[in-house]
Structure 1
Amino acid sequence: MERNVVLIALFTALIAALGLVPKLTLASGIPITAQSLGIMLCGTVLGAKRGALAVLLFVVLVAAGLPLLAGGRGGLGVFTTPWAGFYYGFPIAAFVTGLIVEKWNGSNVSVVAGVAAVIGGIGALYLVAVPYYMVMKPAGLGEAVLTAMAPFMPGDLIKAVLAGLITGALYKARPSSVLSRAKAA
């Protein structure tokens, strides 16, 4: 129990720290950061439940006003923008990513984690973020995909590969530390 709490807090801090990595701001005003790599790692390393809890804690801390998002943003106001679908989708993305790693018994953990990060960390996230953008903007599907999805895909795919490689290396070095692969997780 205590170990789970510590790991959830640690991965919440990891997501926050990855928001400090120098960002690239698109013309739309939304920054590209490494925070989504943290979301993916929560799922690939911690598993579905712990990963989602770590990300949910991050979202709650942002809502409470902590400036944990790129550019030092935080507070309830960030949840009213067309981009808030990403924040709402973060815990879902971590959960789906973790669930795939837990259920898929492939022997190559790097590949399993990388594919899970693509399906959960990208696919599930955009299934929430794009429709949310369409409603809040309002915008059609084409505009939403071109504005809220397409510019992020190359970086997201790189982050998914990194999540797979990091998880695989961690599993090779210390298999018991990758809780998503533990039989009694």
Structure 2
Amino acid sequence: MLPPWVPYAGIAFISIASAIVFTRRLGEEWAWINRKIIHFSIVPAVLMFYYGKIPAEVFSVSALLFGIVQLWPHLKKREFSWYQIEHNYGEVFFAFSASVVPLALPREYATALLLAMAVSDGVTGVIRHYYFRRHGFNVKLKKHWTGSLAYLATAVVIALIYLDGDAIRKVMWATLLALAEYQPWIDDNLAVPLVGSLLFVLY
């Protein structure tokens, strides 16, 4: 008899696989948007983890395997051009970070952080893409305050729903994550989960 989490893991896999197939049809011109669509596609997995349908260990191992699958094309210099960018390992860092967060943090807090990584970062990337596309800049290399504002707004909503504590701490949490995403020194797919993990002491 199959473990009870298998159907839920299957739904999560279908969500991510469907996003990958869909973005491939959009093509590499939309690589930056495609990356964010794939970010969004992990939301069903995160919610099923939150409601106890997918165990933390299963979520973690699945994210780790997904990270390894995405790392391999980089190492072979044969990137999946419709969403991977040469010398940019963001999607790999995202998967590896997502594999650690559920094991290192309590479920409610891990859920909030994972949703910020997926939803807030995704919304941020989409807004920045269209802003720079309209203004003629290279969207692959730029960040802008408009995206950070979107990150902050969505992270505040996530914090209000999933985190305990008063509103001030929740807004502070969202603000510090937005700053971690915006800073230019460390890939945000590493900086956000790192800062978010350190902020756990507030809760």
Give the alignment's TM-score, normalised by structure 1. Answer: 0.43
- Greater relative contact order: 1 or 2 (C-alpha under 8 angstroms, separation 6 or more)? 1
Which protein shows a greater Rg? 2
